[in-house]
Amino acid sequence: MAPEEDGKWGMAMCMKLWQPKSGSGPLLFVGYEDGSIALWNVLEHRLMRRHLFHKEPVMSLDFDCDNARGVSGSSENILNVWNLDEQQDLKTYKAQELVNPGIADVRIRQDKKILATAGWDYRVRIFGWKKVKPLAVLQYHTSTVHCVSFSDHIIPEERLLAAGSKDQRISLWSIYSQT
């Protein structure tokens, strides 16, 4: 799968593979260096949609298949939340402005209640996923936070958030909310 020959999208920076319930075959979201996100039909090797969501390279993206909604971060200070509608169009849902630029990673928790971002400002930010409302800023690291990951423990109270940083440390956080 490759962009058109005249396409100047740059490198593929991040991706999320998704299998729709419709059985149409796997689809692939790809974030590119030019700030766009493309949706590819994997079986047909065909570009379905592409939308420019960021002014800077897309550093990370995640997708909530239950709600057909995705999130992406870049080197700018915008967290973009977008929808995939019934016509397979990508549309902005909300652009959440952040205090500081630079999002290295984004992850939606498995229960679809919260979202975590890994920041260049040494912080992990937690948002409510439904309205993309800022909930918490976690401060521990002394350098850029590069990655975040949620555990999928069967007992909600036992679930953790892990964050990895350039400072060579990994922080573990208990982020539990039943509501």
**Total of domains in the chain:** 2
**Residue 45 is part of which domain span?**
1-68
pLDDT at position 179 is 46
Residue 43 domain flag: yes
Decide if 136 contacts 127 (C-beta within 8 A).
no
Residue 127 domain flag: yes
As given in the structure block, the two tokens for residue 15 are 């991706």
Residue 12 domain flag: yes
Residue 74 domain flag: no
Coil vs helix vs strand at 60: strand
Q: Mean pLDDT of successive 10-residue segments in the chain (179 residues)?
A: 79 94 87 96 93 97 96 97 90 94 97 96 97 96 98 86 97 77
Coil vs helix vs strand at 158: helix
pLDDT at position 120 is 98
Regarding pTM above 0.75, the answer is yes
Residue 90 domain flag: no
Residue 144 sits in a domain whose CATH number is: 2.40.10
Residue 115 domain flag: yes
In a shared domain, residues 103 and 161 = yes
Residue 118 domain flag: yes
Q: Which segments within the chain are labelled E, that is strand?
A: 12-18, 27-32, 36-41, 46-52, 58-64, 69-74, 78-84, 90-97, 103-108, 114-119, 123-128, 133-139, 145-150, 161-165, 170-173
In a shared domain, residues 60 and 119 = no
